A and B are shown apart, each in its own frame.
Chain A
């Protein structure tokens, strides 16, 4: 029932009319014309839109103070882990917080009082496929190539949202905006985003994968 095109498009229309962001899923591409038309009509229904004052202010702050690479202080998201990412999924910028320098994406996450946490058997990892694991407060995607296992953070290097593994495309994708990352954490798209943070990972002699996470 829900797979019928009129139902899928109606769900998208209903979301748009409630002011929600576009959430598309497999098969929606077949209705791309109807979906983009719905987005345009939804965009026009309340007349021309101006930025909300809070968003305009954040943009102003970012323009005045942005470092050369990105504006987002992701430290909070990385430290707090997955829960914050869900809270920030509204697509807003995090405020620029005071305190220690933000963790730069591409650095390896070094949790204070970190501990090695067993996240599964290396043999269970399918070569070329990302597997999401949680090690306390740290979410990571594991990748195996031969005997080597690598791990990157499961949080986008731009917006603090949980990435998902797009097996068909062979990349990690951000649900909050158009950003994709390869298994080594480098972005695939042209937005010049920072690479993903790396996560410490090791394979024990008995073939278990351990991630340096938190208690």
Chain B
């Protein structure tokens, strides 16, 4: 170790050098993976955990500095595996028991278009009431009480309708 190296040893926090070109490429790919995962788990904390797991498993490949196209397939295969593990653990099911409606297929379009398009396709195939309750709740952020007021119903009835609407939404196969 040279004196310079010794002098640059960390005190409390490790200062890291600027990311390398290979890391930049990897991060850009992981952004797509993150969006893919977020669109399926619906929250940041779980999406970060799972993206982190994908990255961890893929580190050897990412470090090779391979072009984006070469690692994308590997990353999404890994992401599907990690998502499968996530749902099976959280739901207490074997992966074989998980229905394929978990929609782990590779996205064919950029995630920026994938999520919104898919959701619109799903909602468009629901009955008016089901679509309305899900739109108000998820897209407009209404509380149950607000949804009930908007739809001239009760909170209890809206809760049941929401459950049925979600079950129906799960059965819709988005156009790929």
- Nearest chain A CB to B36 CB, angstrom units: 10
Q: How far is the CB of B14 from chain A (nearest CB, A)?
A: 5
Residues of B near A63 (CB, < 8 A) are 19, 23, 26-27, 55, 59, 62-63
Given A17, A36, A177, A180, which contacts B50 in the complex, CB threshold below 8 Å?
A177
Query: Which residues of chain A are near B141, meaning CB under 8 Å?
Result: 17, 45
The answer to whether B23 touches A64 (Cβ under 8 A) is yes
The answer on a CB contact under 8 Å between A98 and B55 is no
In residues 16-49 of chain B, which contact A (Cβ within 8 Å)? 16-17, 19-20, 23, 26-27, 30-31, 34-35, 38-49
Q: Are B41 and A22 in contact (CB under 8 A)?
A: yes
Asked if B154 CB lies within 8 Å of chain A CBs, one says: no
A38-69, CB < 8 A from B? 38-45, 47-52, 55-56, 59-66
With both chains docked as a complex, state the minimum distance between the C-beta of A92 and any C-beta of chain B, in angstroms: 7
What is the distance, in angstroms, from A66's C-beta to the closest C-beta of chain B? 6
| Closest partner residue, chain B, to A45 (CB atom) | B138
Q: A64-B20, A192-B57 are in contact. Are A40 and B39 (CB under 8 A)?
A: yes
Chain B: which residue is nearest A192 at the CB level? B57
Name the A residues within 8 Å of B47 (CB-CB).
Answer: 49
Contact B38 A49 (CB under 8 A): yes
Residue among A34, A48, A173 with the most chain B CB within 10 A?
A48
**Contact yes or no, B41 A43, CB < 8 A:** yes
| A45 and B142 alpha carbons, distance in the complex (Å) | 12
From B10, B112, B167, contact of A48 by CB (8 A) = B112
Once bound together, how far apart are the Cα atoms of A20 and B38, in whole Å? 12
Q: What 11 new A-B contacts, CB under 8 Å, besides A13-B137, A48-B113? A: A10-B163, A13-B162, A20-B45, A33-B170, A36-B103, A55-B51, A64-B23, A70-B56, A96-B14, A176-B49, A177-B53
- Jot down 27 A-B pairs with beta carbons below 8 A, ordered by A: A6-B159, A6-B160, A6-B162, A9-B166, A17-B138, A19-B44, A20-B45, A29-B97, A36-B87, A40-B40, A42-B43, A43-B41, A48-B113, A49-B35, A51-B34, A59-B27, A62-B55, A64-B20, A65-B16, A66-B59, A98-B12, A159-B49, A169-B92, A178-B86, A178-B90, A179-B89, A191-B82
- A residues whose Cβ falls under 8 Å from a Cβ of B: 5-7, 9-10, 13, 16-17, 19-22, 24, 26, 28-29, 31-45, 47-52, 55-56, 59-66, 70-71, 90-93, 95-98, 159, 168-169, 173, 176-180, 189-192
> Which residues of B does A touch, CB under 8 Å?
9-14, 16-17, 19-20, 23, 26-27, 30-31, 34-35, 38-53, 55-57, 59, 62-63, 81-82, 85-93, 97-99, 101-103, 111-116, 118-119, 122, 134, 137-139, 141, 144, 159-160, 162-163, 166-167, 169-171
Top-8 shortest CB links A-B: A42-B42, A33-B170, A178-B89, A34-B166, A39-B42, A43-B42, A91-B45, A98-B10
